[in-house]
Amino acid sequence: MADVAYYTRDGLDKLKEELQHLKTAGRAAIAKAIAEARDKGDLSENAEYDAAKEAQGHHETKIAKMEELLASARLLDESKLDTSKVLALSKVKIKNTKNGATMSYQLVSESEADLKSGKISVTSPIAKGLLGKKVGEKTEITVPAGKMEFEILEISR
């Protein structure tokens, strides 16, 4: 079984919608491709048929993985988040102590991560270094570019 992943209502709804799409429209499109390839003659020498069957296998694997992900998904009530320390789904404002740059991130599950909208995965190096810290604390985090020190300025929901 997969590790438990925590989701916002939006993230969980998107995951369910994507799974539903894969099971309906996605399966229908693959079935159509297999039928079209089958109509082209001898299956033993039909590369299109083989490719369509392989695509079907990949599609079913993706569905199975998403179902496993949903089975281990937990919805977090953002209104009840403890803001005394950094947790999953916390919104955190941090300052790079070396150059004074400030950044704001929300720590979310891997599938919800989107750096452009300020959402980073709780499994990322920065998020791991922030988890459990309180406002005013400094933490040194090893990132691909080396070690960086951040100060936690603010924690919100």
Decide which of 75, 104, 128 is a domain's last residue: 75
150 in the same domain as 105: yes
Task: Render pLDDT for 101-130 as a digit per residue (tens, 0 to 9).
Answer: 999 999 888 888 888 999 998 889 999 999
pLDDT class of 63 with cuts at 50, 70, 90: very high
Position 154 pLDDT exceeds 70? yes
Question: Over the stretch 82-104, which tens digit does the pLDDT of each residue have?
Answer: 678 888 888 999 999 999 999 99
Q: What angle do CA 13, 7, 2 make, to 5 degrees?
A: 105
In sequence order, the 6+-apart residues with CB closer than 8 A to the CB of 88 are 6, 76, 107, 108, 109, 122, 131
Q: Report the alpha-carbon distance of residue 65 to residue 38 in Å, rounded.
A: 28
Q: Domain count of the chain? A: 2
The residue among 47, 75, 103 that closes a domain is 75
Which 3 state secondary structure label does DSSP give 124?
A: coil
Same domain, yes or no, for 92 and 152? yes
Half-sphere exposure of 130 (CA within 13 A, CB side): 37
Q: Which helix (H) or strand (E) holds 7?
A: strand 5-7
Angstrom CA distances, 110 to 115, 120, 123, stand at 11, 8, 7
Range of the domain at 118: 78-156
